[in-house]
Amino acid sequence: MAGRGLNPKRNRSVGRPLKNIDAEQVYKLARLGCNQQEIADFFNCHPDTIRDRFSSELTCARADWKISMRRAQTIRAVKDRSDSMLIHLGKCYLGQGDKNPSPESTDQLPATDDDGNTLEP
């Protein structure tokens, strides 16, 4: 750990003793979407302690949380036929949006029949 070492004169650790914090509990809290401050409040410690000692647990848990949220959104959009969720996912992941069309894209294609022949208006 950075900043922790042995006192050469007494052969003892320097600094405050480490607070006993369960890494699995940190992971579970982060997986629920808790931020570092909320996790630190739960363990009654400083947020830097959580950040410094459990960065890998936080990273993995947040990735799992994002996967879970995407899964829930997709299920809501498809299973529940939620138009607003489909629009949201289309904007986020497919680059669809409320952009003004460019002049080139406003040109209408001619109507065709089943054989591909152009229909007259």
Confidence (pLDDT) at 50:
96
User: Is the pLDDT confidence value at 105 over 60?
Assistant: no
What mean pLDDT comes out for the span 100-109? 58
Please state, in angstroms and rounded to a whole number, the distance separating the CA atoms of residues 49 and 37. Answer: 10
The pair of three-digit structure tokens given for residue 83, joined into one six-digit string: 């138009």
pTM equals 0.60
Confidence (pLDDT) at 5:
58
Confidence (pLDDT) at 76:
86
User: Is the pLDDT confidence value at 48 over 80?
Assistant: yes
Confidence (pLDDT) at 98:
74
Q: Which residues lie below 8 Å from residue 23, measured CB to CB, with a gap of 6+? A: 54, 57
Q: What is the average pLDDT value for the chain, to the nearest integer?
A: 82
Confidence (pLDDT) at 107:
59
Q: Tell me: the pLDDT tens digits for 79-96?
A: 888 888 888 888 887 888
How many helices (H) and strands (E) the chain has is answered by: 5, 2
Q: For tokens 């498809």, name the residue.
A: 78
The pair of three-digit structure tokens given for residue 41, joined into one six-digit string: 């409040």
